[in-house]
Structures are given as C-alpha cells and as structure tokens.
Structure 1
Amino acid sequence: MVGAGVLSLPYAMSHMGWGPGTTILTLSWVITLYTLWQMVEMHEMVPGKRFDRYHELGQYAFGEKLGMYIVVPQQIIVEVGTCIVYMVTGGKSLKKVHDSLCPDCKDIKTSYWIIIFASVNLVISQCPNLNSISIVSLGAAAMSLTYSTIAWGTSIKKGIEPNVDYSIKSHSTADAIFNFLSALGDVAFAYAGHNVVLEIQATMPSSPEVPSKKPMWRGVILAYIGVAFCYFPVALIGYYMFGNAVDDNILITLERPVWLIAAANLFVVLHVIGGYQIFAMPMYDMLETFLVKKVKIPPSFTLRLITRSVYVGLTMLVGISVPFFGSLLGFLGGFAFAPTSYFLPCIIWLKLKKPKIFSLSWIINWICIILGVLLMTLSPIGAMRNIILSATNYKFFS
C-alpha cells in the first residue's frame, strides 16, 4: 500500500499550504479506506462466487462488455503508469546513492541508472505469480516503513531551514493554481492499493465460517495504520522543516548524514523493485492470458520470458524518455488513480447494493464520487502543464 508517492508529499504540501494540504491528505486517507472496505466486502457478495479481478466486479455491475471497457483501460493505465514511475524512482534513487557515497566520482547519467534498475526487474519478473514474490513484497513493505521514518527523522535532526518560507511555491497566480491541481494528483498517487486488492484477496482461502473478507479487512486496517505512520509525518514534518524549498522527492533534498541518506535511497530502490512486481504481475497475467487464449500460443517458459522482458523493456524506455518524477505522479494520480481508488468502487456499490436514496450510505458515496470526479478532471491539467514546461528544457536520453 505504501508507495514511492510518499516521498513527494512534502512537495505537494508546498503547493497547497498548511490548511488545504492537511485537509486533502486526511480526506484522501479516509475516502480511500472507505472505498477499500467496499471492495473487500464486494469480493464475495454473490454466494459461491468470488470476484478475483477488478474487471470481473465491473462486469458483474455493468455487464460483460461495458464492465471491461470501463475497468480494464483504467487498470492498465494505473499499472503501466506506476511501473514507469517506479522505473524513474529506482533509477534516480540509485544515482543518489552513488552521488552521496562518491561525490568526486564521474557523473553517470540517470538513464544508465534506470537501465540498471530495469535489469534487476527483468530477472525478478520471471517469478510465476503473486504468491511467489511474497518475500519480495514483505521486504518492500519493511523498506517503505524504514525510508519513510528516515525521511522525517532526518528532517527533524536537520532542523528548520534558515529563512524557511511557507508561502505557496509559485511565480504567478496561474502557476499557483496549476501547481495546486498537480499537487492533488501527487496525493492521489499515494493511494494505489485498490487496483490489486481483489487479486490479493483472491490468494486467501475462504469458507462460509471464515470468509476471505475477515483476514483481508484485518490486513487493510494494518496497512492503513502503516500508511498513516508513513504519510503524515513525512508530509507534515518535511514541509515544516523545508517549507517551499523542498524537492519533489524529499530524500533528494536531504544531504546529511551521508551514509543514512544513501541507505534510505537504497531502501527506496529495494522497495520499488517489490512495488514494480506487484503492479506488473496483473499486466503479465493479462498479456499472457491474451496470447494463450486469443493468439493460441501455448503456455511455456519462453512465452513468459519474452512477454515479461518486452514489458519491462518498454516501461524502462518510457521512464528514460519522461523522467519527471513529481509531474508524472500528479498526472497519473489524477487521471488514473482517482477513478479506481476514489469513486469507481462507490459507483459499483450504488449499482449493486442499491442503498436507499438520501440514506447515509447513499450520501457518503455521492460525496466520494463528486470529489473523485473533480480530482480526475482537474489534477492532470496542472501536471500536464508542468510536464510541458519541464520538457522545454530537457534533452531526451540525457
């Protein structure tokens, strides 16, 4: 659940300010916990049937074809987009480790570090399914808790910057508005677990006495306690210490102590290796199923090797081409994560559960839908503007 998006939260705060920033962070935590509960509840809402994929739940709600058209494109954008962002994060964090430990060494391009990161994922991608990477996932979870704690702990140790400035980071009114919209997407990107929650719940045994939703909900509660422990201290302490001078990745802002910052960046690398696989695994499954069922290619190790290697290679190339960490988070957070995490579960809930009009459940769901649609509409506009501005000074493969 805890992703590399946590590192951009102080930067998002610098574009929103104390009041709006804290409110949006808290609202996002509450709304996405609620929509995650809905998905866990709907997993076995039909007796004797389990919705093991997000699109299966969508198909049950909207019909075979429409359900696929609504859910699958959004899932693909989320999963591919996250893999691209993790490529950029892994490469930049590797570069930071190198630059921290060897400041006098020859500078190595970020592109090469992204290639090194991709080569590790190329090997791990050959693990057959989600259960086979449970150790990688456990390691990634431990790393995310560790580097988040280092981020806010080191910020406290460093102390408040001299002449710290908490005014909104902008050069003009237009700048302030577009940056605020992009920051909304940064926050949305931090809540990404909905896209794989049904796949994870599908790996759990279920019986009439102990349905899978019971252990799954306990897992969700633990995950969200972890999310709160990571997100709020990093966002609030990071912004308090650096104000609007913070980078789009707080670990890039921090410089001392060198060994600890290098270690934290190495933990980020280890975490996004696991995170990459969690989001890539449904894509591998989708691609291989399509090739076996539609193209009639027999399942084999060769099919797995080629399909997964091509996928890792393509996400690497896009990551090298568009290495704008903060703006990528904002764009993908709003455009892709808002529907699947903020309001699509609410629409499905209203369709299937049919709560009474103006009942508490009906009102809460419609509030989530309205806020989610606003988020999806507005935040990609701000982020796309920032990508265009960044691209004017950028040379490909530099």
Structure 2
Amino acid sequence: MENENAIAARKGVDDWLPVTASRDAKWWSSAFHNLTAMVGAGVLSLPYAMSMMGWGPGAVILILSWIITLFTLWQMVEMHEMTPGVRYDRYHELGQAAFGEKLGLWIVCPQQLTVEVGTCIAYMVTGGKSLQKFHNTVCPSCKDIRTSYWIIIFASVNFVLCQCPSFNSISFISLLAAIMSLAYSTIAWGASIERGVKPDVDYGYKAHSTADGVFNFFCAMGEVAFSYAGHNVVLEIQATMPSTPEKPSKKPMWKGVVVAYIGVAFCYLPVAFIGYYVFGNSVDDNILITLEHPTWLIAAANMFVIIHVIGGYQVFSMPVFDMIETYLVKHLKLSPSFTLRLVARTTFVGLTMIIGICIPFFGALLGFLGGFAFAPTSYFLPCIVWLKVKKPKRFGLSWFVNWTCIVLGVLLMTLSPIGALRKIIISAKDYKFFS
C-alpha cells in the first residue's frame, strides 16, 4: 500500500514541477521555445565578431557552429527516450544515465546552471540597457536616467511573469519573443542594406599587433559559441510533449527544432554577413548603435529586443525554477504550494536583478565564465554521452563525427575564455560598478 502511496506522491510532485506539470505541447511550441532560447540579443554583436575573424574564418566558424550544434541537438532529442519506459526530462538526468547518479549530477548541473543563471543576469542588463537606449532615442533631450533604474523597471515585468506555473504556460510569451527576434534581426540587416556600403569600408583586422589579432579572434569565437545556448533547455522543452511508444515525443520535437534552426539561420547569417559587408571593421559591438538612423526604426528594434529578452529570461529561468523547487520539495520536504513558488521565484529574480545592477558589464564576464560552460553543454557534452550510452562502432562514421565535435568543442572551451579574459583586463579601467 505504501508503495502505491509513494508513487502517487511522486506523481503529485511531478505534476506540480514546472517542467513536467503539463505534457500536452505541440511541435510548434518546441519551435518557438527553441528559437527564443537560441536567438539572444547577442545576434546584434555578430557583425562585430566577424570583424575580428575576417571573411573566410568568420563564415566557416558561423556555419560550422550551426551544423555542429544542430547535430548535437538531434542527439539530445534522440536520447530523451532511449530507455524504454523512461523519459530523461532534464539535462542532468541524461548526465546521470551516462555517468552515474552522483557524478552525472556534478558534471551537468554546475555547467547548466552557469549558462542559465548567467544568461538570466545578462538578460537583466541587456533589457535595462535596451530600455535606456529606447528612452534616449525617442527623447534625446530628456534627463538621462541611470542604467540601474532601467534594470529595476525591466525586472519588475519578470517578477510578475515568473509566477507562470509551468513551461507550457509561457508558450504565448515565448511565441511573442520568437517573433520579436526575427523582427529586430530583419531590421538590423534590412537597415544595413538601406544604408549601403560605406565608401571607405575596410575589411582588414582591427588589431594593433599579431597578439591582439589572435586574442580578438579567440574572443570572437566565444561570442559565436554563446549564440548557441539552447541545448541547456532542450530536454526540458521536450518534457512538455506527450509521448507513447507508437508516437514518441522525438518526432514532433525534432520537427520543431528544424523549424527553429531555419529561423536561427535566418537571424544570424544575414545580420553577420550583411552587417560586416556594409560597415567592415568600423562596426560597433551592437549593430543597432552603428545604425543611428532612421530613429523610429532603431527605437522599434530596441523595443523588440526588450520584448524578446523578457521571453528569453522566462525560458532560461524555468529549468532553474524546476531545480530549486525540486530541491525544496524532494530534499527539504516542504509541501508544494503557491507560497513556496512565490518566495523561491521572487528571490531568484531579485538576485539576478541585484547582480545585474552591481555588475552592469556582466556581458563581458559572461564571455569568460560562459566559455567553460557554453561550449561543453552545446558542443561536446551530448557527444560524450552519446559515445558512452550508444557505444557506436570504433572508427565508424558516428564515432568519428562525435570525436571531431569533442575535439573542436574542447578547443573552443579552452581558447574563448583566454580571449575574453584579456578583453576584460584591457577594458577593466572603463568598468563601473553600480553604474
């Protein structure tokens, strides 16, 4: 009898946790959740990344990243139900299946949390700064307001939205965010074409020395890598879908992923290539700053960024809420309730807001921190799990492709933080806490 009670209690908790609460999502919700998670405001810095890499290497790295991450995402979707009757609803559950109960948790959780919490803090800063840019563009003669206050205004929206109980309940917010990401990306490359190529355009490296060029290149590789962070929420998105042996969730999920990746290519490649083609190495690290006119269009693009970042914050914070609430309910034995959720989530949003206010240059730090976590979780951790669990034939195609991804991913993980750290050291004199 107790066994039945234990099963019923576990089901009750699963039905309450945000990731597994409702499993009736359709393929299209997977498409826009993935698109919202992938296309961050970082897309606007891709022309700048191109200016540090040059035409050939830049194009190769952008397209290669797109192919590798699509392949590793396919592997994760496939592995979601690789054990009959079991669903690996969370990234760390997949890690535990491969590396064991304790080790799997320690390998995956710190990296996944670094990406998700780091992205949430960066989105706080991005949202606040975009609000500030919107205000300054619309009303250039108005009194200047500190970034800190804009971050608080941006956070106030997230305090309300974070109370959405489950992943499925943020579908509409995510859809809106996905549309916005397509909109501001289109404005970025469309306005660049309208502007026309600068007469004195220069595609040479903007470095003062060879060392400068090499470190800038490492840093730019990191910026491209951080454009593909969606792997950290993909299993959690798949968990929201219904699944039976006849109709496994991987079919609609993969359909959604492919649509999302077409959207990603539509956002990234034109912005990166057209932005760099038009402005060359004089492009700013946010192409909307370089494109000052027409004013109303740039103001609209900043507003689209704000709406997108709100949705992105919700998508990245949902797995974090799931981890916090799982710990509180399963380990600390607190009863699942609205009050628990209200306190836990409000605390998390408050903390990300405070860190964002204290360190408004967090984006630069994310380049350094993220190098250790973004590259593994997106580029090669899925490959290691695949080799461990699926055991493909040695020197066969699957074995070779996975090892290639692992080698490239490890190189990326090693080199991009070096470039980012140097950039932080050089720019440190301009950084102001609590600005």
TM-score by length of 2: 0.89
- Classify the secondary structure of the residue corresponding to 1:242: helix
| Residue 278 of structure 2, aligned match among 206, 228, 241 | 241
Which residue of structure 1 aligns with residue 180 of structure 2?
143
**1:262 aligns to 2:299 (yes or no):** yes
Which residue of structure 1 aligns with residue 40 of structure 2?
3
| Residue 398 of structure 2, aligned match among 343, 361, 364 | 361
Which residue of structure 1 aligns with residue 170 of structure 2?
133
**1:73 aligns to 2:113 (yes or no):** no
**1:278 aligns to 2:304 (yes or no):** no
**1:330 aligns to 2:362 (yes or no):** no
- Classify the secondary structure of the residue corresponding to 1:392: helix
**Conserved? CA contact 1:152–1:233, under 8 Å:** yes
Which residue of structure 2 aligns with residue 60 of structure 1?
97
Runs of 4+ aligned structure 1 residues displaced above 6 Å come to none
Which residue of structure 1 aligns with residue 51 of structure 2?
14
Which residue of structure 2 aligns with residue 381 of structure 1?
418
Which residue of structure 2 aligns with residue 47 of structure 1?
84
Tell me, in whole angstroms, the C-alpha distance in 2 between the residues paired with 1:209 and 1:222.
23
Tell me, in whole angstroms, the C-alpha distance in 2 between the residues paired with 1:135 and 1:317.
27
Tell me, in whole angstroms, the C-alpha distance in 2 between the residues paired with 1:328 and 1:393.
14
| Residue 101 of structure 1, aligned match among 120, 138, 157 | 138
Q: 1:10: Cα distance to partner?
A: 0.7
Tell me, in whole angstroms, the C-alpha distance in 2 between the residues paired with 1:377 and 1:208.
41
Tell me, in whole angstroms, the C-alpha distance in 2 between the residues paired with 1:70 and 1:56.
11
| Residue 117 of structure 1, aligned match among 154, 166, 169 | 154
**Conserved? CA contact 1:184–1:334, under 8 Å:** no
- Classify the secondary structure of the residue corresponding to 1:196: helix
Q: 1:323: Cα distance to partner?
A: 2.6
Tell me, in whole angstroms, the C-alpha distance in 1 between the residues paired with 2:51 and 2:44.
13
Which residue of structure 1 aligns with residue 66 of structure 2?
29
Residue type of the partner of 1:310? T
Which residue of structure 2 aligns with residue 161 of structure 1?
198
Which residue of structure 2 aligns with residue 193 of structure 1?
230
Which residue of structure 2 aligns with residue 347 of structure 1?
384
In structure 1, stretches of 5+ residues that fail to align are: none
Which residue of structure 2 aligns with residue 304 of structure 1?
341
**Conserved? CA contact 1:184–1:375, under 8 Å:** yes
Residue type of the partner of 1:298? S
Residue type of the partner of 2:344? T
Tell me, in whole angstroms, the C-alpha distance in 1 between the residues paired with 2:165 and 2:298.
34
- Classify the secondary structure of the residue corresponding to 1:142: helix
Q: 1:393: Cα distance to partner?
A: 2.2
Q: 1:123: Cα distance to partner?
A: 0.9
**Conserved? CA contact 2:114–2:370, under 8 Å:** no
Q: 1:397: Cα distance to partner?
A: 1.2
TM-score by length of 1: 0.97
Q: CA-to-partner distance for each residue in 1:204-252, whole Å, 9 max, x for gaps?
A: 1111221111001100110110011110000000111111111211112
Tell me, in whole angstroms, the C-alpha distance in 2 between the residues paired with 1:100 and 1:385.
32
Tell me, in whole angstroms, the C-alpha distance in 1 between the residues paired with 2:223 and 2:107.
23
**Conserved? CA contact 2:53–2:220, under 8 Å:** yes
RMSD of the alignment, in Å? Answer: 1.3
**1:171 aligns to 2:208 (yes or no):** yes
| Residue 241 of structure 2, aligned match among 200, 204, 209 | 204
**Conserved? CA contact 1:126–1:308, under 8 Å:** yes
Tell me, in whole angstroms, the C-alpha distance in 2 between the residues paired with 1:187 and 1:194.
15
Which residue of structure 2 aligns with residue 315 of structure 1?
352
Which moves more between the two structures, 276-285 or 168-177?
A: 168-177
Tell me, in whole angstroms, the C-alpha distance in 1 between the residues paired with 2:255 and 2:186.
23
Tell me, in whole angstroms, the C-alpha distance in 1 between the residues paired with 2:244 and 2:332.
36
Tell me, in whole angstroms, the C-alpha distance in 2 between the residues paired with 1:172 and 1:343.
32
Q: 1:143: Cα distance to partner?
A: 0.4
**Conserved? CA contact 1:184–1:330, under 8 Å:** no
Tell me, in whole angstroms, the C-alpha distance in 2 between the residues paired with 1:94 and 1:175.
33
- Classify the secondary structure of the residue corresponding to 2:430: coil
In structure 2, stretches of 5+ residues that fail to align are: 1-37
Q: CA-to-partner distance for each residue in 1:16-70, whole Å, 9 max, x for gaps?
A: 1111100000000000000000000001111111110011111000100010010
Number of aligned residue pairs:
398
**Conserved? CA contact 1:143–1:271, under 8 Å:** yes
Q: 1:118: Cα distance to partner?
A: 1.0
**Conserved? CA contact 2:356–2:362, under 8 Å:** no
Tell me, in whole angstroms, the C-alpha distance in 1 between the residues paired with 2:226 and 2:266.
17
**1:184 aligns to 2:224 (yes or no):** no
Residue type of the partner of 1:263? A
Q: CA-to-partner distance for each residue in 1:150-203, whole Å, 9 max, x for gaps?
A: 000011111122322211122322222221111111001111111111111111
**Conserved? CA contact 1:155–1:241, under 8 Å:** yes
